[in-house]
Amino acid sequence: MKINFIVPEIVRSGGIRVIFDFANRLTNKGHEVTLYTPVIPFNPFKPSIKFNVFKHQVNFLIKQFWGKPYMPKHIFPYCFKIKAVSAINNFFVDNADAIIATSWVSSHYVNKLAKSKGKKFYLIQDYEIWNSNVKLVDKSYTLPLNRIVIAKHLQYFFKEKFGVDSKVIRYGVNFDFFENKNKTYNNKNKTLLFLDHLLENKNAIAAIDTVKMVKQKYPDIIVKGFGIQRFHEIPGFVEFYENPDDVKIKELYCNSDIYIYPTLFEGCPTTPVEAMACKCAVVANASAEIPYYIKNKETGILANPLKKNELFDGVCYLLENEKELQKISEAGSRSVREIFNWDKSVNELEVLLKS
């Protein structure tokens, strides 16, 4: 099959990693896959124009020329074709058997394409209302596209809110890379890890508040953080890594004891799954897809997002119960390998695209 993906722009994020992995694996199965990205990123506030968006569009345009896509530092490996085009329309997008929108903005463009561009699908990884025209975001979920969601809770959410059906196809994780065969538990000075992120729904400030409280109770604790950049004020005791590559991120997971993830709402975040695969115990809010793959005090620790100190209590529980920490770390690693299976996911997508 000839399969086209449409992305709003290429950035280093969990969502783009999922798209790259799907495209890579479809390519390896013998399909002709092309990823299209606009030379000028879509305006999520359309028809309004925001100065910061316009500035970003101009900067991005300068980095791309003659159809050569701008690739951020540490971008994920890929074996498919990538085309930067002036517009997502019938002239610039080749005919295909299937075309997949990957964001609410790209869904509107895909909806307008001719039938010759392929059967139309919409890969939904979140309810994308941040920094956007919410009316157009909501409209995207009712367009006549075949909806694919990466999480069970998103399937329920879109059915309840918009009355639409969707197919659940989880992403997978590269367990050949994200693994830890020689896990060493830090018996003396435990290490905590967290992610700093711009989006409010990721709730990074709660992770920062939690590590402050833990550090006050356990002064010898080691705390590390990472992110594309520093979006919040990071305490001086935190060893922070800005825009690390995958090798460094894996090292952080493997050498940490507990990963704190306080999300409030999103699709199916990748970093908790990667951490669990590397036998780093996860303490997370019982939000998004997390309760669907973490069993409290069996494969991770779930906190009530409405109760302020439950993340702190969960971290303290593991710090004070070494056997529980090790049991949960090992069980969590086994469980995600069963749930996030790339072969199963790509086979399901392939069948859907052909059907």
Can you give the pLDDT at residue 215? 97
DSSP for residue 103: S
Tokens of 18: 């999922």
What are the phi and psi torsion angles at 288 (to 5°)? Answer: 55, -140
User: Which of 37, 4, 160, 165 lies closest to 105 in space, CA to CA?
Assistant: 37
Q: Do domains 2-172+341-354 and 191-339 have the same CATH topology?
A: yes
Can you give the pLDDT at residue 67? 59
Q: What is the CA radius of gyration of the chain?
A: 21
Is residue 228 within 8 A of residue 242, CB to CB? The reply is: yes
Can you give the pLDDT at residue 252? 98
Architecture per CATH, 191-339: 3-Layer(aba) Sandwich (3.40)
Helix axes 310-319, 322-339, angle to 10 degrees: 110
Is residue 269 within 8 A of residue 263, CB to CB? The reply is: yes
Q: Which residue has the tokens 């952080």?
A: 252
- 232-248: b or e for each residue (b if 16 or more CB lie within 10 Å)? eebeeebebbeebebee
CATH of 2-172+341-354, one of 2.130.10.10, 1.10.150.120, 3.40.50.2000, 1.20.1250.20: 3.40.50.2000
Q: If you write DSSP's letter for every residue of 5-50 in order, what string do you get?
A: EE-S---SSHHHHHHHHHHHHHHHTT-EEEEEEESS---TTTTS--
One digit per residue, the tens of pLDDT, for the chain of length 355 reads: 999 999 999 988 889 999 999 999 999 999 999 999 998 888 777 877 777 777 777 877 777 765 578 788 889 999 999 999 989 999 999 999 999 999 999 999 999 999 999 999 999 999 999 888 999 999 999 999 999 999 999 999 999 999 999 999 999 999 999 999 999 887 778 999 999 999 899 999 999 999 999 999 999 999 999 999 999 999 999 999 999 999 999 999 999 999 999 999 999 999 999 999 999 999 999 999 999 999 999 999 999 999 989 999 999 999 999 999 999 999 999 999 999 999 999 999 999 999 8
Q: Which residue has the tokens 């920094």?
A: 131
Give the integer Cα–Cα distance in Å for 249 and 243. Answer: 9
The tens digit of pLDDT for each residue in 2-18 reads: 999 999 999 888 899 99
H-type helices in the chain, by residue range?
14-28, 51-63, 104-112, 134-140, 152-162, 204-217, 246-255, 270-277, 290-293, 310-319, 322-339, 342-354
Tokens of 206: 């709660």
CA atoms within 13 A on the CB side of 322: 7
Domain positions in the chain are 2-172+341-354, 191-339
Tokens of 277: 């695969």
